Amino acid sequence: AYEELQETERLATVGEMAAGITHEIRNPLTSIKGLLELKQMDEDPSDKYTPIILDEVNRIDTIVNDLMMLGKPKSHSFSRENVPHILEYVVSLLKPLAVKNNIKLKTKIAEDLQPIYCDEIQIKQVFINLVKNAIESMENGGEITIAANLSNDNVVIEVIDQGVGIPQEKIPKMGEPFYTTKETGTGLGLMVSIKIIEEHQGDVLIDSEVDRGTSVTVILPINGSYRKNGMVI
């Protein structure tokens, strides 16, 4: 009965998600359609619609990219991975964006970390999302610290920014699908990230103070088995 309940809950979530995604993708599609129709009727040779059409297409592309991770993974992509290796990859990937925004990315990685059993691509995606959010929260530059430590049988990774922060009562909203405070945000990054970490039997904790910054803590068990829909794979 418990499994049945879980399955019902899962289907309800999938249904809600599908409704949300349909809505989010239909908006830019409707606008693209309208713009193309205008373009077709327009005698004006200047191409004023194309940039807007491109913006809308990019928006759909971003939404689909953010969601892609949900369809994965395959169980065979699980292996023992080094956390420092993953974090260094993420830092090197996002360094150009950080530099452009006057932000310094600092890593503080403990020496005694043990490798974790994970889907490397998904875990990389999680930290790309978190560090990107950190960068986007710091309009005036500053420092982002990425710290990794061992605590009991867990690896604890913190992404600490000096950004705008978010009021306490809004913290639970952050992981909801399509919750965004950004003009071009999708509100999917954190939801996907939390889901990935939960599937790794880990946890995500968020602490924030307005105008001071935010810290997102990811806890990952070293010896976690991977669970999807209640099943150990």
The DSSP bridge pattern shows strands 203-209 and 78-81 to be unpaired
One-letter amino acid at 120 equals: E
Tokens representing 48 are 């004023």
Residue 130 CB partners (closer than 8 Å, separation 6+): 159, 193, 216, 218
Interface with ligand ADP, residue 161, by CB under 6 A:
yes
Interface with ligand ADP, residue 28, by CB under 6 A:
no
Q: Are 131 and 189 in contact (CB under 8 A)?
A: no
Which residues share a beta bridge with 203?
219
Interface with Mg ion, residue 189, by CB under 5 A:
yes
> Which of ligand ADP, Mg ion, none does residue 214 bind (CB under 5 to 8 Å by kind)?
ligand ADP
Among the listed residues 20, 34, 115, 185, the single contact to ligand ADP using CB under 6 A? 185
Residue from 24, 12, 125 nearest 71 by CA:
125
Interface with ligand ADP, residue 188, by CB under 6 A:
yes
Minimum separation from the CB atom of position 67 to Mg ion (A)? 13
> Which of ligand ADP, Mg ion, none does residue 125 bind (CB under 5 to 8 Å by kind)?
none
Spell out, one character per residue from 83 to 122, where the chain touches Mg ion: x when CB under 5 A holds, - when not.
----------------------------------------
Interface with ligand ADP, residue 181, by CB under 6 A:
yes
In this chain, which stretch among 47-55, 74-82, 102-110, 162-170 interacts with ligand ADP, using CB under 6 A? 162-170
Q: Could you give the dihedral angle defined by the CA atoms of residues 174, 206, 68 and 186, in that order, rounded to the nearest 10 degrees? A: 30
Applying CB under 5 A, the residues found at the interface with Mg ion are 133, 189
